[in-house]
Structure 1
């Protein structure tokens, strides 16, 4: 079978890693080619054709018409395979990082190419700047990385015969221990806003005095960088036990080997690799559980039941009136940017549910309110007692009974369900279906927006603009 892959770029990142593992998984079984807007320095065991017009939009740079770009892609495919390819596997096509991208792939579909569109991230999930106003391609096969997204797309009109669940493969993490008198708790993350850095900082205040949290990488985007830099300065000003950019100074395997455990506080994930990889290095993971993401893993025997689902804090400890104003304003702004109608009464009822016990989930707060609450604990350490009362697990964060058994159970379950061989079989079966079975369906974008516009988990970290306060 002849399979071609398309992605905006091959720079280091999550989607590039997935694409690379897919190429490696079917190498030697299927004939492959990669089309990309920027090949960067990524090494792949197949030919790579760089077509710059497939890459991200560049400010002030005009691009050729979509049919011209599609023509260049077809030329590359026909040069490799005179009869064309069997499957064109396109990554993240519904994110408008290239405003012509939908038109390009629709032109390819019109030319007879069998499309397999794999969605890792949805613009509807708090990314209005990357939202396409036009319809997504119809009558082609789609792929998703978790069951939640599959259910959402079924509700939005896709036929199960043309929707494929392809969870990411997990490669084991290797840890090389070294001399480290105080083993850190590792947060192996690029600290973008939705990773909820403030919560990791708050957790550090409940650790033993000999422990600290080490965050591995800074973010790249300007908005995430502004938030991150303010957190770095604030933590240093208040002498809290959090280390930043540890991964820029120490090799990642050494950080893993020297860590006491790993933590996650993220409020939103696509696949959720952070819930899987620590176990392969023999490390306990603790922190925030994302129910709709973790359900896939728990169905496969991975124990995550001891993680917390929310982190309740007193509403009275922040400027509650300003928070209410900011939250409501963010809801209406986001709805307006998507062209998504909302009812004021429905919004008010949702906010009442979120604050009904005069508490709020810390992960729903923006950075300025998170800092208000942490400042309260710094000024009055005895206030920790109230947070422990609201969140009993805080009395022993990161501690579980019989951790060795949990680590071994989860490591085995991960290798059995997310290993390379299982991934290869799933991927090859999907390509067979894409090549052989036409489908007739289309995504209802209104229904898709409605699924993600969930007011009961509407976080200012994900949906609101950064406000340093």
Structure 2
């Protein structure tokens, strides 16, 4: 058995960390493997990386064709690890980042190659700008005995099953967990809460909610977000929040790593910020696996913020309480206004459905409009940024703090006292010992078992999952969020 790991790039990010972990696991298990990617890694690496022209982000095919790309991949793999047979492990093949990728995968499927198609993110799931790249594909999701789909959470696996993917040809493959860095120092005893959000501030990370929490936190509490986004698409949203931090005077610092220090005399490194944090926070409205929920336990830091049942239900099934989390922050509807909300919704829905090739009907607006209201309240995390700032301005201008509620497991209580009590806790809700089931060793065992199972299968001719049925699962009204448009 030998393995080919395939991804568009190895730039810093969650998928790259998973691929690096997988490579080290395979090396430890004695499994020959190679990593194919579309661009040289940004830093020197000892991993078996080979760069294939045309394998990166590709919106203009130019001289590339699927068959040429497959030929180049096969030739590189043969030179590196021999004739095979191989298991080809693709990451995010269907995300709409390369015009040729669906045909590359289907070509290999039709040739009877053993494939793992690992889904980290989906064009169908809050990435409408990606969807036109794959909109015409009829071979995006191949099905055959020698093909397995690997999902990061049970929700995505279930929804693909509803669309026609046999459960026995899929699995949940959780990411391996290890502390992302070694904290430098520790907060002094009695330090007011220093709350760190260790992410790039892309739109779905819901930075507005950090500002809301800061506006209602006890005095002297400060919040920080580690990094700015890299992709040009997310920069305007981030820049607006950066300006808002200055204009509002709220205790929130953005893009702090290598720019400002957590206190005078300290380093501005990520490790320094991590060391001085009393808490970690998450306000994201969507994640595939949600490394941050478990990394807090690996670091011994308490986590607070927004619950994402799509990922935390798997942790709960494993006996892990991922943090002190709320399901929604509830804002009274009059703070926004129903007509204002509906106007925003209609405009956003039109853009989303246009990208997905779906018509906008009044009945669709009505269904989503009903789905985003909760007994006279709206969820702050499902408001566009300008309306989030409107709510924060109202709060800062003397709005009734007790009008803001937090919903946890169906119970509603005032946000301010819940937040004050939560920030008083300095211990995590999970322990490093509970993470053993997500360790690199456990991940290696899962990978080897998956590849061994595929090695023993007899290949068959592929059929293809109807792509529109997958899209329908993700476009249900209750799944709409302004920050995923």
What's the TM-score once normalised by structure 2's chain length? 0.89
Please report how far the alpha carbon of residue 109 of structure 1 lies from its aligned counterpart in structure 2 after TM superposition.
3.1
Indicate whether 1:147 and 2:147 are aligned.
Answer: no
The answer as to 2:82 corresponding to 1:72 is no
C-alpha distance in 2, partners of 1:234/1:114?
51
Q: Which residue, out of 449, 454, 459, partners 2:481?
A: 459
CA distance in 2 between partners of 1:75 and 1:304 (Å): 45
1:355 is aligned to 2:373: yes
Residue pair 1:157, 1:442 contacting (<8 A) in 2 also: no
- Equivalent residue number for residue 401 of structure 2: 384
Residue number in structure 1 paired with 2:113 = 113
1:174-193 to 2 correspondences below 5 Å: 174-177=182-185, 184-193=194-203
Give the deviation of 1:184 after TM superposition: 1.6
Match of 1:443 among 462, 465, 468: 465
Contact 1:92 1:121 in 2 (8 A): yes
Structure 1 segment 58-207 matched on structure 2, within 5 A: 62-131=62-131, 132-133=134-135, 134-135=137-138, 136-138=140-142, 139=144, 140-173=147-180, 174-177=182-185, 184-207=194-217
Are the equivalent residues in 1 in contact too, given 2:302–2:323 (CA < 8 A)? no
Aligned-pair distance for 1:341?
A: 5.4
Q: Equivalences for 1:203-352 in 2 at 5 Å?
A: 203-249=213-259, 250-304=268-322, 306-340=324-358, 344-352=362-370
- Pair 1:209–1:70, CA change in 2 (3 A): same
The alignment partner of 1:297 has SS state of helix
Point out the structure with the larger helix share: 1
Following superposition, the deviation at residue 304 of structure 1 comes to 3.8
Matched, 1:365 2:383: yes
Match of 1:396 among 401, 418, 435: 418
- The C-alpha deviation readout for 1:248-307, integer Å capped at 9, x for no partner, is 332222211111101111111111111110111111000100112110011111114741
Structure 1's 228 and 448: CA in aligned 2 closer, same or farther, altered over 3 A? same
Supply the distance in 2 between the matched residues of 1:332 and 1:89 (Cα, whole angstroms). 36
Taking only aligned residues, the RMSD between alpha carbons, in angstroms, comes to 2.3
Alignment correspondent of 2:38 = 37
1:222 deviates by 2.1
Identify if the C-alpha distance between structure 1 residues 162 and 62 changes in structure 2 by more than 3 Å, giving closer, same or farther: same
Measured at CA, do residues 405 and 207 of structure 1 come closer, stay the same or move farther in structure 2, by a change above 3 Å? closer
Map Cα deviations across residues 12-59 of structure 1 (whole Å, 9 max, x no partner): 111111111000111142001111111223555443221121011266
User: Contact conserved, 2:11 with 2:41, CA < 8 A, in 1?
Assistant: yes
Runs of 5+ consecutive residues of structure 2 not aligned to the other structure: 260-267, 407-411
Q: Greater strand percent: which structure?
A: 2
Tell me the CA shift for residue 403 of structure 1.
4.8
- Given candidates 421, 432, 435, the residue that maps to 1:411 is 432
* Separation of aligned partners in 1, 2:354 and 2:413: 36
Q: State the SS of the aligned residue for 1:128.
A: coil
Q: Is the partner of 1:205 in helix, strand or coil?
A: helix
Q: Against the structure 1 CA distance between its residues 398 and 43, is the aligned structure 2 distance closer, same or farther, given a 3 Å change threshold?
A: farther
CA distance in 1, matches of 2:200, 2:214: 18
**Runs of 4 or more consecutive aligned structure 1 residues displaced over 6 Å after TM superposition:** none
Between 1:136-145 and 1:334-343, the stretch displaced more is 334-343
State whether residues 280 and 411 of structure 1, in contact with CA within 8 Å, keep that contact through their aligned partners in structure 2.
yes
What's the counterpart of residue 448 of structure 2? 428
Q: Distance in 2 between matches of 1:353 and 1:106?
A: 37
Contact 1:158-1:442 at 8 Å conserved across structures: no
Name the count of aligned residue pairs: 459
Q: Distance in 1 between matches of 2:402 and 2:238?
A: 28
Q: Give the 3 Å change call, closer, same or farther, for CA 457–115 of structure 1 in structure 2.
A: closer
Q: Is the CA contact (8 Å cut-off) linking 2:206 and 2:381 kept in structure 1?
A: yes
Determine the C-alpha separation between the residues in 1 that align with 2:347 and 2:124: 18
Report the alpha carbon displacement of residue 74 of structure 1 after superposing the two structures with TM: 1.1
CA deviation after TM superposition for structure 1 residue 7, in Å: 0.7
